[in-house]
Amino acid sequence: MTDPSIFFLSDFGRQDEFVGVVHAVLRRFAPKVPVIDLTHEIDAFNIRAGALTLLRSVNFLGSGVVLAVVDPGVGTDRRPVAIEVEAEHGPRFFVGPDNGLLIDAAERLGQVIAAYELNTTISTGAVTFDGRDRFAPAAAFLASGGDPTSRYPALSVDSLVRLPSHLADATLIGGGAAALATVASIDAYGNCALDRPGSDLPELGSVLNISVGNATSLVTSVAAFGDLPLGGLGVLVDSSSNLAIVVNQGSAAETLELEVGSHVTFTA
């Protein structure tokens, strides 16, 4: 890797020392490798939101290692892993828990060619902080040019955990059916990214109803926020090519009382 960085994402927040301690471990083991914080404000335990954030980010990252920790299964039999990717640009390794957080972003970047179990730790017995004890040392080792085969046992790529799709029973509106979606993440403006690709938008139509629980609202399909009147509710393709529910200069989350994991239904 040329001029590698470590790209760090977590649900740790900033209230406690967790982010700073991980930075300190990275500095200890890879003092010359810069660390770029993608975010540490993923909703606690929300693996899907973390995975979507990585998907939105990965094509814009440089050479190096992605270190991602959203890990409600820490200390259990879920595996700590490093995933190796062959791609023309971007990170070569993804380090974190094998719970579905990493694999989609890794595959978006390129071909996954290997996986390794991170079976070493710097802890003297703690099992609840793998971000510090397993993932940070591994990310530092790999970003410094370490050969994973010299330290970690190989895993089958096919055995890596994937997140189940929320869309298994969903259909598009064509023919009068409903289109189902789930709120995957909510940004600081209250825009609600859905787990449907932007390519679905033409099939949804220009004006449609959106139902959340027993409440139904009219939304307009638009290309940009400014195509809506001030305070207007719409659906568009966001900067990461996902469908998103938005309000022009307002919060869609507040308007529709949405939260991460909320289910919505579009009907013509």
Task: Give the model's pLDDT for residue 71.
Answer: 97
Reported as type and span, the H/E element at residue 204 is helix 201-204
Range of the domain at 185: 174-267
Please tell me the predicted confidence (pLDDT) of residue 168: 39
- Both 140 and 246 in a single domain? no
pLDDT at 167: 47
- Is position 164 within any domain? no
How much is the pLDDT for 204?
66
pTM: 0.85
Residue 98 belongs to a domain with what CATH number?
A: 3.40.50.10790
Which of 159, 185, 212 lies at the terminal end of a domain, its last residue? 159
CA distance 140 to 157: 22
Which of 51, 89, 85 minimizes the C-alpha distance to 68? 51
* Among candidate residues 159, 192, 214, the one where a domain is terminated: 159
Give the pLDDT confidence score for residue 201 in this predicted structure.
Answer: 74
Q: Which residues contact 82 (CB under 8 A, 6 or more apart)?
A: 93, 94, 95, 115, 116, 118, 138, 142, 148, 152
Shared domain check, 190 and 98: no
Instruction: Note the pLDDT of residue 180.
Output: 81
Provide the CA 221 distance to its chain's centre, in angstroms. Answer: 25
| pLDDT of the residue at 265 | 87
Q: What is the mean pLDDT of each run of 10 residues along the chain (268 residues)?
A: 94 96 98 97 91 91 97 96 95 97 95 97 92 98 98 98 65 59 90 86 76 88 94 92 93 94 85
Tell me how many domains the chain contains: 2
